[in-house]
Amino acid sequence: MKTIRNKTCRMCSSKRFNTVVNLGMHPMVNSLVKKKNLNKKDPTFPLHVKQCKSCKLVQLREVIDADEIYKKIDYLFFSSDMPNLDKYFKPFALDIKKRFLKKNEFVVEIGSNDGVMLQFFKNSNRILGVDPSTNVVIRALKKGINTLPEFFTKKLSDKIKNEFGKAKVIYGANCIAHLNDLRDVMNGVHNLLKDDGVFIIECNYWGEMVKNFNYSLIYHDHFSYFSINVWEKFLKKYNMSAFDAIITPAQGGSLRLFISKSKRKKTKRFKILANKERQTNLNTFKKALEYRSNVKRISNKLSKIVNNIKKKGYTIAGYGAAAKGLTILKCSNLGNKHISYFVDDSPAKQGLYTPLDHIPIINRKEASKKLPDYFIILAPNYSDVIIKKEKKFMIQGGKFIVPKNEIEIH
């Protein structure tokens, strides 16, 4: 498996970095293992989070070639399989439509997955999705969502422009962190976007990661960890600027940033968030060090709690075999000695095994035959939904371990 080591920062070309946190060697948490491959050794890669000394972007410098993540293996994350994700994207899509779009204007989504958000534009606008994972694109095409199985690049933006014309809205939700060559992406966006168009991104937010001690987002698919101020500096190079921002509850706190070529009035909520970053010194290395000590503290605490439960002879199973959860486990050195199996609602994951530890992933019905004493919820953003759904398990004496910014036992 090929890795790329960036010599320079992906936003500003600086060669000078500080280490934020070194999480050690991790497997690729999104590539689950088929039964026939269990005898093969799964590769591991360093998760060494750095901060650019110049522009302050927090990032992984050594990244896996995106071709390996999205092209050579089946990408198993189908957005439509995620509970309530369509309900999350609907108001986002309606907001975009209401504020920025007229009927039939052209909308492009970068990283459109199986079309879970583009579907809401389908009846009113011309749409095009771009996503490198062929297997999710096939799912989108089946639903009648025009999608190209490609990475979004400047070169591709030329081809799209020639055929469809410029776009009024380009957006990407949960994909910008997955892209190594951000400058090429921005050149492509600038090229394809109308002068009065709007580019909207939703990405992980360093501000919330620091506030909530959230390290579950640090894995090989996520190359960068963003803040508003870092984006503001980067956008200047393209004569673009951000004019609106909100923090959404997705992924434990994501940044939704609205960007334009033409000057637009900055919203009050944008000014408040951008100022808050400055007031709290969010983009300083000192803040990054605070984050590091919190990550170490929480991951040690989880390790202790789980090991104590195991010492008492109780069984533990995982709820949700998400990449985030596998990162949390690995950071606490927890594996197949601690977790008997994973329950996951996504049919694409059932029957597979986690990388490295080879913990089996089964459906909830199968789990009923061998319920554990504890479920550890490794998709903490869904913990409320899961606990509500699992009342019967709790009445029967079952417990939940929920690693949030502190570790909760229910």
Nearer to Zn ion, 18 or 135 (CB): 18
Closest of 202, 131, 200 to residue 168, by C-alpha: 200
Q: What is the gyration radius of the CA atoms in the chain, in angstroms? A: 21
**Shortest distance, position 237 Cβ to Zn ion, whole Å:** 11
User: With binding defined as CB under 5 A, does residue 52 bind Zn ion?
Assistant: yes
The H or E element spanning position 27 is strand 17-27
CA angle 27–29–35, rounded 5-degree value: 85
**Shortest distance, position 8 Cβ to Zn ion, whole Å:** 8
Give the whole-angstrom CA distance, residue 55 versus residue 230: 6
Question: How big is the site for Zn ion, counted in residues (CB under 5 A)?
Answer: 8
**Shortest distance, position 325 Cβ to Zn ion, whole Å:** 30
Closest of 360, 172, 195, 208 to residue 261, by C-alpha: 195
User: With binding defined as CB under 5 A, does residue 141 bind Zn ion?
Assistant: no
CA 305 to chain centre: 27
Per the rule left: phi > 0, alpha: psi between -120 and 50, beta: everything else, 320 is: left
Single out the residue of 9, 66, 274, 282 in contact with Zn ion (rule: CB under 5 A).
Answer: 9
**Shortest distance, position 393 Cβ to Zn ion, whole Å:** 47
Span of 46-54, 302-310, 311-319, 326-334 interacting with Zn ion by CB under 5 A: 46-54
**Shortest distance, position 57 Cβ to Zn ion, whole Å:** 5
Cα distances (Å, whole numbers) of residue 171 to 91, 111, 190, 371: 14, 9, 12, 42
Cα distances (Å, whole numbers) of residue 246 to 272, 281, 283: 10, 19, 18
Residue 120 has a CB neighbour count (10 Å cut-off) of 21
Span of 8-16, 65-73, 75-83, 186-194 interacting with Zn ion by CB under 5 A: 8-16
**Shortest distance, position 13 Cβ to Zn ion, whole Å:** 7
**Shortest distance, position 154 Cβ to Zn ion, whole Å:** 20
User: With binding defined as CB under 5 A, does residue 182 bind Zn ion?
Assistant: no
**Shortest distance, position 54 Cβ to Zn ion, whole Å:** 5
User: With binding defined as CB under 5 A, does residue 12 bind Zn ion?
Assistant: yes
Single out the residue of 14, 267, 315, 336 in contact with Zn ion (rule: CB under 5 A).
Answer: 14
What lies within 8 Å, CB to CB, of 126 at 6+ separation is 104, 105, 106, 107, 164
Q: 193: helix, coil or strand?
A: strand
- Name the DSSP class of 353: B
Single out the residue of 21, 55, 321, 339 in contact with Zn ion (rule: CB under 5 A).
Answer: 55
In the range 297-326, which residues lie near Zn ion by CB under 5 A?
none
User: With binding defined as CB under 5 A, does residue 20 bind Zn ion?
Assistant: no
**Shortest distance, position 286 Cβ to Zn ion, whole Å:** 17
Closest of 79, 64, 70, 67 to residue 134, by C-alpha: 70
Nearer to Zn ion, 52 or 321 (CB): 52
Span of 51-59, 74-82, 271-279, 293-301 interacting with Zn ion by CB under 5 A: 51-59
Span of 48-56, 111-119, 306-314, 374-382 interacting with Zn ion by CB under 5 A: 48-56
Nearer to Zn ion, 11 or 352 (CB): 11
Give the whole-angstrom CA distance, residue 211 versus residue 209: 6
Interface residues toward Zn ion, by CB under 5 A: 9, 11-12, 14, 52, 54-55, 57
